[in-house]
């Protein structure tokens, strides 16, 4: 299947381990985290551990989300002075509307407030994609369409999210999804923001991080269901991404995912690998940056991309072709194939 590959560049990050992309990627490379006691207490009377972004003032709620998103976007745009925001669609990834404790009650107003904080306007095709983890892949798919159909020079993708909210923590603790003093099979809540520019792949002597394949699937045996897990949704997504990239699993060098500590997702990744990989590999490493930054929802796709870009550019990645995969609690699954070739070809 022939599709237009996309080049990703100009990354901006705000996480608990770094207030910009270089420091965040360096911390993740060194497996450094910033997990500390939060102001929230679990059912056992112990402080919940979390990965909080240390901004200069103790902002909370929507204000902090705007501060983090604006900071990441400014870092991304500052790397290319030729980018004009009026010609650039902004695809803003946010938490799912059904997320317990979601602090944003009006997505359009939040987008408007963010533009005010940035003191700029974006292309009329800008929009909000409130799909949690998978929103990043939906944004890439939409960016591909905008570049192909409207011939815009670039698309700005940003994501911002926060799990350090009382009702959110209470809801996930009740479902035994949160890492607490009484539950070891859970995730560490975090917060963060990411931004990056997406363009057509151009012939260049400089290496580029290129998305060559994108696939979607739906898992019926979700983390909250009692159905037996076979990883059907993830297998469907990976096969679709491999088909677009015109390669098979054995040709990829390693994986990076949104795994954040729950056994369910590690089992799913293992099952999917066993059902698709038909070539014996001595090593097929799997990276999961959430170990360092915590569960950061809609921002994780941008962080994963920045990590791979930094690793490829600095020569410590496990190879030139990598599989991304992540998913939502409602069963939506996404897989992507990325390459870092010298000539921009997939």
CATH number for the domain spanning 320: value is 3.40.47.10
My answer on whether 180 and 264 are in the same domain is no
Asked whether residue 162 is domain-assigned, the answer is yes
Mean per-residue pLDDT for 31-51? 96
Torsions phi, psi of 56, nearest 5? -70, -20
> Residue 346 pLDDT > 50, yes or no?
no
Total domains, the chain:
2
> Residue 193 pLDDT > 90, yes or no?
yes
My answer on whether 155 and 232 are in the same domain is no
- The confidence score (pLDDT) of residue 247 equals 94
> Residue 279 pLDDT > 90, yes or no?
no
Residue pair 252/323 in contact by the 8 Å Cβ criterion? yes
Neighbours of 284 (CB within 10 A): 18
My answer on whether 216 and 193 are in the same domain is no
Asked whether residue 86 is domain-assigned, the answer is yes
My answer on whether 50 and 144 are in the same domain is yes
Asked whether residue 345 is domain-assigned, the answer is no
Which residue range is the domain that position 314 belongs to? 209-339
Indicate the length of the chain as a whole number: 346
- The confidence score (pLDDT) of residue 206 equals 77
- The confidence score (pLDDT) of residue 2 equals 67
pLDDT band of 42, cuts 50, 70, 90: very high
Pair type for strands 332-339 and 254-257:
unpaired
My answer on whether 27 and 92 are in the same domain is yes
My answer on whether 117 and 180 are in the same domain is yes
Give the Cα separation of 233 and 30 in Å (integer). Answer: 32
My answer on whether 231 and 169 are in the same domain is no
Q: What are 127's strand-pairing partners?
A: 91
Domain end: 173, 200, 227, which one? 200
Asked whether residue 19 is domain-assigned, the answer is yes
Domain end: 166, 200, 234, which one? 200
My answer on whether 68 and 191 are in the same domain is yes
- The confidence score (pLDDT) of residue 61 equals 95
State pLDDT tens for residues 63-92.
999 999 999 999 999 999 999 999 999 999
Taking the complete model, does pTM exceed 0.85, yes or no?
A: yes
Q: What are 325's strand-pairing partners?
A: 257, 335
Q: What are 336's strand-pairing partners?
A: 214, 324
Start-to-end Cα distance in the chain: 13
Residue pair 114/69 in contact by the 8 Å Cβ criterion? yes
- CA-CA distances (angstroms) from residue 40 to 35, 103, 170, 332? 14, 16, 9, 30
My answer on whether 186 and 228 are in the same domain is no
> Residue 344 pLDDT > 80, yes or no?
no
Domain end: 174, 200, 226, which one? 200
Query: Token pair for residue 329?
Result: 């609690």
Residue pair 54/108 in contact by the 8 Å Cβ criterion? no
pLDDT band of 226, cuts 50, 70, 90: confident
> Residue 342 pLDDT > 80, yes or no?
no
Return the minimum-mean-pLDDT range out of 55-64, 214-223, 278-287, 289-298: 278-287
Asked whether residue 334 is domain-assigned, the answer is yes
State pLDDT tens for residues 249-268.
999 999 999 999 999 999 99
Asked whether residue 1 is domain-assigned, the answer is no
pLDDT band of 28, cuts 50, 70, 90: very high
Neighbours of 117 (CB within 10 A): 16
My answer on whether 217 and 274 are in the same domain is yes
Query: Token pair for residue 323?
Result: 């599989």
My answer on whether 29 and 123 are in the same domain is yes
Query: Token pair for residue 227?
Result: 């159905």
> Residue 212 pLDDT > 60, yes or no?
yes
Residue pair 321/253 in contact by the 8 Å Cβ criterion? yes
My answer on whether 172 and 214 are in the same domain is no
Asked whether residue 346 is domain-assigned, the answer is no
Three-state SS across the chain?
A: CCCCCEEEEEEEEEECCECCHHHHHHHHHCCCCCCEEEEEECCCCCEEEEECCCCCCCCCHHHHHHHHHHHHHHHHHHCCCCCCHHHCCEEEEECCCCCCCCCCCCHHHHHHHHHHHHCCCCCCCCEEEECHHHHHHHHHHHHHHHHHHHCCCCEEEEEEEECCCHHHHHHHHHCCCECECCECCCECEEEEEEEEEEEECCCCCCCCEEEEEEEEEECCCCCCCCCCCCCHHHHHHHHHHHHHHCCCHHHCCEEEECCCCCHHHHHHHHHHHHHHCCCCCCCCCEECCHHHHCECHHHHHHHHHHHHHHHHHHCCCCCCEEEEEEECCCCEEEEEEEECCCCCCC
Asked whether residue 291 is domain-assigned, the answer is yes
> Residue 341 pLDDT > 80, yes or no?
no
């Amino acid at each position: 299947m022939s599709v237009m590959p996309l080049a990703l560049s100009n990354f901006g990050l705000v996480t608990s381990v770094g207030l910009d992309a270089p420091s965040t990627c360096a911390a993740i490379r060194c497996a450094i985290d910033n997990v500390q006691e939060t102001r929230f207490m679990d059912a056992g009377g112990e402080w919940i551990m979390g990965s909080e972004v240390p901004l200069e003032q103790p902002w909370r709620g929507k204000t902090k989300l705007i501060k983090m998103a604006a900071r990441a976007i400014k870092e991304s745009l500052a790397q290319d002075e030729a980018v004009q925001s009026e010609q650039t669609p902004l695809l803003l990834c946010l938490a799912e509307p059904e997320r317990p404790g979601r602090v944003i009650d009006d997505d359009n107003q939040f987008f408007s407030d963010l533009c005010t904080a940035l003191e700029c306007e974006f292309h009329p095709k800008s929009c909000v994609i409130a799909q949690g983890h998978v929103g990043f892949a939906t944004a890439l798919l939409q960016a591909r369409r905008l570049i192909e159909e409207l011939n815009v020079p670039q698309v700005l993708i940003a994501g911002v999210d926060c799990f350090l909210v009382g009702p959110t923590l209470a809801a996930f603790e009740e479902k035994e999804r949160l890492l607490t003093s009484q539950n070891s099979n859970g995730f560490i809540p975090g917060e963060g923001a990411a931004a990056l520019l997406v363009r057509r792949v151009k012939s260049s002597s400089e290496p580029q991080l290129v998305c060559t394949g994108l696939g979607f699937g739906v898992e019926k045996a979700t983390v909250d269901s009692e159905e037996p897990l076979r990883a059907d949704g993830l297998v469907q997504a990976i096969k679709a991404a491999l088909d677009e990239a015109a390669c098979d699993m054995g040709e990829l060098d390693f994986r990076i995912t949104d795994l954040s500590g729950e056994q369910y997702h590690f089992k799913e990744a293992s099952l999917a690998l066993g059902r698709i990989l038909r070539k014996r590999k001595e090593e097929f490493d799997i990276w999961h940056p959430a170990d360092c930054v915590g569960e950061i929802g809609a921002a994780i796709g941008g962080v994963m991309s920045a990590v791979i870009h930094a690793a490829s550019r600095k020569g410590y990645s496990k190879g030139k072709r990598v599989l991304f995969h992540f998913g939502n609690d409602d069963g939506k699954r996404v897989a992507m194939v990325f390459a870092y070739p010298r000539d921009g070809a997939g």
